[in-house]
């Protein structure tokens, strides 16, 4: 299954009339304002590219279609039910969070046959996670090596529209994935508002395979190649809405340690700056972040989009993720990155990706969800003192 429905814990929390309004059965809106009773009344740092009252628009996209493991679609609801909205408003931000329904109403998306919105005709399957019968309105056959290309494209187009709309209001979009294929949409949406924005990609993996070089066909390993417009990415249905919007000089990686052979060749061919865990060990995380910013944003005059895959963290820190790789960032190294970017004042958009609450034991899930929430908070100005 690529998506999940809103769980009862979230549905019941929406009934608080002070901060939440329900728009019919299929939609809702959560709105939270800062107050002295909660904590800060404005963020610790000045986010210099935002406009008006400091505001976060949360995009929760419960999507797992870019890879083969279900469960990552549960993450947005899990992060929200962990209290993220109130955590952010206590840091001085006004917070808006809308229904995920727009990401569900896609004909290539399997939905439970028990759902009132289930179509009468389609292809029936059984969900691997919970055993529910599901039905998919339209087929989504492979295109070349690419798996679920129509679903991945359709969801990312909607994500791009949502992020662009939030950024266009002068707010900061915070996207909660879902798998990392969603970065096609988040970065494209950011670039629509900030064409000169640079991209800082925190990950164990480069995610720069192309539809031609990928072995698995899973598109969560390909978003950067689509953003750059590399060979093989000018393909339907993606080219119907996604145009190359990123230059090789505008992206920098931190935390790499599991990079495919073809990806290494792509990085070298295009001169893309990448700091692996070797560099973190050699220079220390503070120097690496400084060098990364100096490369893409030397005078700190450009907006920054931060795309953070929690598998950049060591599995001891964030175990419940789909592709863990040992030897990753420590808790403090991972958070220093977000703290330094917040302090720079350049952040305009943030992604937190690849938390998978279906993996491992409850303690591991709690640890990983807590890490995702704390990375979001640190990006938005939480400090240790």
Whether residue 2 lies inside any domain: the answer is: no
Q: Give the residue with greater pLDDT, 128 vs 173.
A: 173
CATH, residue 131: 3.40.800.10
Confidence of residue 26 (pLDDT cuts 50, 70, 90): low
% of residues, the chain, pLDDT over 70: 92
Is the pLDDT at 25 greater than 80? The verdict is no
Q: Does position 4 have pLDDT exceeding 60, yes or no?
A: no
pLDDT digits (tens, 9 = 90+) for 312-335: 999 999 999 999 999 999 999 999
pLDDT (tens digit, 9 = 90+) per residue, 49-62? 999 999 999 999 99
pLDDT digit string, tens, across residues 140-173 = 999 999 999 999 999 999 999 999 999 999 999 9
**Is 3 within the bounds of a domain?**
no
Q: Is residue 29 part of a domain?
A: yes
Residue 118 pLDDT class (50, 70, 90 cuts): confident
Coil, helix or strand for 53?
coil
Can you tell me which residue has the tokens 């039910």? 81
- If you write DSSP's letter for every residue of 20-87 in order, what string do you get? EEEETTTEEEEEE---TTTSBSS-SS--TT--SS-EEEEEE----TTSS-TTGGGHHHHHHHTTHHHH
* Residue 346 lies inside a defined structural domain of this protein: yes
SS3 177: coil
pLDDT of residue 311 exceeding 50, the answer is: yes
In the chain, the number of structural domains is 1
pLDDT at 11: 40
Would 1 be classed as within a structural domain? Answer: no
Query: Domain range holding 299?
Result: 8-379
């Amino acid at each position: 299954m690529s998506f999940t429905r809103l769980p009862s814990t979230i549905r019941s929390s929406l009934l608080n009339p002070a901060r939440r309004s329900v728009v019919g059965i299929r939609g809702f809106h959560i709105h939270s304002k800062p107050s002295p009773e909660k904590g800060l009344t404005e963020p610790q740092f000045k986010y210099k590219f935002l406009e008006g009252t400091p505001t976060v628009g949360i995009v929760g996209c419960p999507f797992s279609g870019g890879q083969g493991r279900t469960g990552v679609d549960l993450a947005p609801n899990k992060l929200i039910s962990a209290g993220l909205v109130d955590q952010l408003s206590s840091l001085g931000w006004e917070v808006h969070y809308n229904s995920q329904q727009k990401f569900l109403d896609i004909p290539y998306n399997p939905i439970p046959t028990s759902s009132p919105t289930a179509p009468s005709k389609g292809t029936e399957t059984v969900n691997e996670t919970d055993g529910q019968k599901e039905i998919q309105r339209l087929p989504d056959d492979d295109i070349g090596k690419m798996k679920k290309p129509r679903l991945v494209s359709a969801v990312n187009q909607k994500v791009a529209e949502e992020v662009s709309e939030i950024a266009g209001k002068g707010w900061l979009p915070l996207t909660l994935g879902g798998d990392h294929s969603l970065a096609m949409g988040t970065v494209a949406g950011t670039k629509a508002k900030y064409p000169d924005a640079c991209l800082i990609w925190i990950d164990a993996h480069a995610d720069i395979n192309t539809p031609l070089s990928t072995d698995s066909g899973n598109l969560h390993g390909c978003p950067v190649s689509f953003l750059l417009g590399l060979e093989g990415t000018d393909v339907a249905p993606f080219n119907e809405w996604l145009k190359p919007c990123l230059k090789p000089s505008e992206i920098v990686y931190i935390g790499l340690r599991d990079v495919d052979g073809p990806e290494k060749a792509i990085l070298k061919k295009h001169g893309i700056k990448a700091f692996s865990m070797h560099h973190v060990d050699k220079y220390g995380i503070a120097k690496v972040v400084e060098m990364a910013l100096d490369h893409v944003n030397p005078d700190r005059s450009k907006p920054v989009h931060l795309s953070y895959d929690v598998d950049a963290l060591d599995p001891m820190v964030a175990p419940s993720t789909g592709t863990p790789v040992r030897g990753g960032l420590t808790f403090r190294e991972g958070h220093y990155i977000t703290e330094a970017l917040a302090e720079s004042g350049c952040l305009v958009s943030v992604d937190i990706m690849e938390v998978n609450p279906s993996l491992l034991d409850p303690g591991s899930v709690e640890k990983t969800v807590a890490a995702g929430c704390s990375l979001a908070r640190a990006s938005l100005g939480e400090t240790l003192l």
